[in-house]
Amino acid sequence: MSKRDYYEVLGVGKSATEREIKKAYKKLAMKYHPDRTQGDKSLEEKFKEIQEAYEILTDDNKRAAYDQYGHAGVDPNRGAGGFGGGGADFGDIFGDVFGDIFGGGRGGRQSRARQGADLRYNLEMTLEEAVRGKEVEIRVPTLVECEVCDGSGAKKGTSPTTCPTCKGAGQVQMRQGFFAVQQTCPTCSGKGKIISDPCSSCRGQGRVEKTKTLSVKVPAGVDTGDRIRLSGEGEAGENGAPAGDLYVQVNVRDHDIFTRDGNNLYCEVPLSFTTAALGGEIEVPTLDGKVKLKISSETQTGKMFRMRGKGVKSVRTGAVGDLICKVVLETPVNLSSKQREILQEFEASITGSAAKHSPKEKGFFDGVKKFFDDLTN
- Output the known binding site: 146, 149, 163, 166, 185, 188, 199, 202
Dist. CA 295–CA 222, nearest whole Å = 33
Dist. CA 208–CA 86, nearest whole Å = 38
**At 57, which helix (H) or strand (E)?**
helix 41-57
* C-alpha R_g of the chain: 35
Q: Where are the beta strands (DSSP E) in the chain?
A: 119-125, 134-145, 161-162, 171-176, 179-184, 193-194, 207-218, 227-230, 246-252, 259-261, 264-272, 280-286, 289-295, 304-307, 323-330
How far, rounded to the nearest angstrom, does the alpha carbon of residue 182 sit from its chain's CA centroid?
37
Dist. CA 295–CA 329, nearest whole Å = 12
List, as residue ranges, the binding site for Zn(2+).
146, 149, 163, 166, 185, 188, 199, 202
Q: Is the dihedral of CA 306, 309, 314, 317 positive or negative?
A: positive
Dist. CA 58–CA 159, nearest whole Å = 33
Q: What are phi and psi of 333, to 5 degrees?
A: -125, 170
Q: Is the dihedral of CA 269, 275, 278, 279 positive or negative?
A: negative
Dist. CA 216–CA 211, nearest whole Å = 15
